[in-house]
Chain A
Amino acid sequence: KAGVTQTPRYLIKTRGQQVTLSCSPISGHRSVSWYQQTPGQGLQFLFEYFSETQRNKGNFPGRFSGRQFSNSRSEMNVSTLELGDSALYLCASSLMAGVTDTQYFGPGTRLTVL
C-alpha cells in the first residue's frame, strides 16, 4: 500500500504571498490532519478533516485554511505569508478519527518564507 504523499517537498516563497500544499492519504483513509513543526514549538496541530468536513482546528490564525476532497486528498492554504510561517508542514492520515486512530505521516513540505 502506498504511503502518505505530500507535494511539493520544498517551497520558497516571499512575505505576502500565498501557498497551497497538497496531501494524498493512504488509500481508504478518511481522516487527514495537518501539523506545523518549527524548531522552537515542536509539532503543532493545525486542523483535521474527515469526509470533506473540518472536524477540529488548532490555535492558528485564519490565514491558515484547508479543505478535503471527495477522494480524501487534502490541501492546506496559507495566505499573506509571514517569516514565522517558515516550517515543516506534515500531514497525517488515519482510517477514521485522527485522535484515537494511528496516524501515518507523510514526508512533509519544507516551506521557507523570505
Chain B
Amino acid sequence: ILNVEQSPQSLHVQEGDSTNFTCSFPSSNFYALHWYRWETAKSPEALFVMTLNGDEKKKGRISATLNTKEGYSYLYIKGSQPEDSATYLCASVISSGSARQLTFGSGTQLTVLP
C-alpha cells in the first residue's frame, strides 16, 4: 500500500448500533497513525494518535486499535448516537526521501439515524 485508504466511504447506522471502520496505511517506516473526527461546519478534532504496534486507545464510546506490521487500524464506536455523525479521518506518515508528511485518507462519513 502506497497511500492511506479508508473503508467504507460512507455508512448509515441506527442509533444504538455499534460500528467500525478500517484505515489501511503503508507498514514500512511507520511513525504514527492519527484519527480525527470532522463534523460539518467545524474543525477536525483529534481523537487518537497511536504509535505502537498493538496499541489500543479509548475515548468514551470510541476506541481504536493499531497493527503496524500489517498496516491497518480499526476505529470502533459502541452504541452510536446521532451526535457521532461526522466524517472520520485517519492519517499516517508517508516518507518521501528525507521528508515526512501526514497523509490523510479520504474518510468514512458516518450518519447515525435516530
Contacts and interface: CB of A to CB of B under 8 A. Distances in A.
Contacts of A35: 104
Nearest to B106: A42
B92 to A, nearest CB: 9
A43 B89 CA distance: 9
Interface string A68-88: 000000000000000000000
Interface residues of A, number: 25
Contacts of A44: 104
Contacts of A90: 43-44
Interface string B101-113: 1111111000000
Contact of B34 (A3, A4, A103, A106): A103
Interface string A82-114: 000000001010000011111111111000000
A100 B107 CA distance: 20
Contact of A100 (B32, B46, B99, B101): B32
A108 to B, nearest CB: 7
